[in-house]
Amino acid sequence: MVGKLVALLLGVLTALVCVIRTTHTRTPNTVDWYTTTQSVSVEGVVSTEPDKRPMKTLYTIAVDQFIDGSGTLIKGLQGNVLATDRRQWPEYQFGDRVAVFGVLEKPEQIEEFHYEHYLSRYDIYSVMYRGSFQIKTNNRQPTTSTELRRTLYSLKKSFESQINRLYPEPHASFMAGLLTGSRRGIPEDLLEAFAATGLTHIIAISGYNITIVIAIISSLLFWLPLKVRFFPATIAIVCFTIFVGASAAVVRAAIMGILGLLALQNGRTTTVRLSILWTAFFMIAWNPKVLWYDAGFQLSFLAVIGLTELGTLLEKVFQRVPKTLAIRESLQMTVAAQIAAVPLIIILFKRFSLIAPIANLLIAPAIPLAMLFGAVGTLLSFGLFPLGQLVSYLGWSCLEWIIIVAYICNAIPFASIQIDIPTWTLIPYYGFIIYVLQRKTHD
């Protein structure tokens, strides 16, 4: 009893310390103190990978100095500014020192979307919706970490450019979404079809995509013992994570995916359950805002819980599905993740896709094939373009099937409905799942 009380007190104390540490306070030393309606100039370093979109590019600038409307120079500032470059030329890279001229504003809520909360996860509290950029001389020697990240982002950009050479639109943007998590260039009507049919999760690097990578590697190495497959699958996850840029969201998904792999490998659900909870604890301790404002964290966490806890319950349901190219595993993972995450999806997006189970069943076999042929074809094309193009045709056919399914399912009347359910409904829903799992354990 004393041990539990001590653990509870330590937990509460840790939570308070973490919240205090990450709570933002505006001061004259932070750049958001100077948000006005006047045009100003901020100077700093591009601190993350540029977010290039149609007609604009978003840059996160770690600001260290500021010139106000009267020309007064203020040095020694801290804070990030999300600046939008609508000219898109020249292109600036991670680590470049730039000056941005424009109106510095506070991010505000957009309809029902709390944009300010979304940005606060990245420690961004001020924005420039129209910035005029100028490159500056950076007298500091780039660190090894900076050079490594610049190299990774450059490789990712080259890979996406090669995808654009191999595939037409919207297939090129779709394949980039599957392999690198980029949503650039995907038509709005296709995004809407994905949202209405419950397929949005396939075009963002998440725990789902990582588990598909696991399933592909495990299926290709089917002749090896189950425990031996863990190591090449883990190496594949690490390489995949590094290749796509190793952003916080991807690293989180990779950690969650490896934990799910552990559950499937050794069946020690209790150990893996504790590992997942400890991982979530450290992630939240590092940045408590992900618990409230990061839908990706919430859904990835539920997806891995669904995989580890519900995956085994669905084995009998899908035992007649062939294992070729991880079709059974990917289908089982998809359904398990959907069961775990669907109520939160409804609460977050106020939409329930009635057609989602059918749509996911139809496209589940095509996802691992599309990722496999897309990755292999793109890599081959760097050396032998005709051969890479031939393999890419197979990936194109998988993407075409997914797009057709999304459009057809979206055209069905009442494919999705607008629904708003109270948050408290999560309690009985997950309570029932826990009850079913306990019954299964006792049986």
Q: Quick one: three-class SS letters along 90-153? A: CCCCCCCEEEEEEECECCCCECCECHHHHHHCCCEEEEECCCEEEEECCCCCCCHHHHHHHHHH
Spatial distance between the Cα atoms of 311 and 336, rounded to a whole number of angstroms: 6
Question: What does the pLDDT look like over 50-89, one tens digit per residue?
Answer: 888 878 899 999 999 988 877 788 888 899 999 999 998 8
Place of tokens 């680590």: 95
User: In this predicted structure, what is the pLDDT of residue 101?
Assistant: 94
Q: Where are the domains of the chain?
A: 31-136, 158-442
User: In this predicted structure, what is the pLDDT of residue 106?
Assistant: 92
User: In this predicted structure, what is the pLDDT of residue 345?
Assistant: 80
- For the chain, residues with pLDDT lower than 70 are 1, 3-4, 183, 204-209, 211-212, 214-216, 218-219, 222-223, 226-227, 243, 245-249, 252, 256, 259-272, 323-327, 329-330, 441-443
User: In this predicted structure, what is the pLDDT of residue 365?
Assistant: 79
Question: What does the pLDDT look like over 376-430, one tens digit per residue?
Answer: 899 899 999 999 999 999 999 999 999 999 999 999 888 888 888 888 888 888 8
pTM of the model: 0.79
Q: What would you report as the CA-atom Rg of the chain, rounded to the nearest whole angstrom?
A: 23
Spatial distance between the Cα atoms of 294 and 289, rounded to a whole number of angstroms: 7
How far is residue 234 CA from its own chain's centroid? 19
Spatial distance between the Cα atoms of 167 and 173, rounded to a whole number of angstroms: 9
176's enclosing H/E stretch is helix 171-180
User: In this predicted structure, what is the pLDDT of residue 215?
Assistant: 67
Pairing of β 124-128 and β 56-67: unpaired
Spatial distance between the Cα atoms of 436 and 264, rounded to a whole number of angstroms: 19
CATH, range 31-136: 2.40.50.140
CB atoms within 10 A of CB 413: 4
CB 173 within 8 A of CB 183: yes
- What DSSP character marks residue 423? G
Spatial distance between the Cα atoms of 162 and 391, rounded to a whole number of angstroms: 14
Spatial distance between the Cα atoms of 7 and 2, rounded to a whole number of angstroms: 9
CB atoms within 10 A of CB 212: 24
Spatial distance between the Cα atoms of 92 and 50, rounded to a whole number of angstroms: 8
168's enclosing H/E stretch is none
CB 99 within 8 A of CB 134: yes
Place of tokens 């419950």: 198
Dihedral sign for Cα 279, 285, 291, 297, please: negative
Spatial distance between the Cα atoms of 333 and 264, rounded to a whole number of angstroms: 11
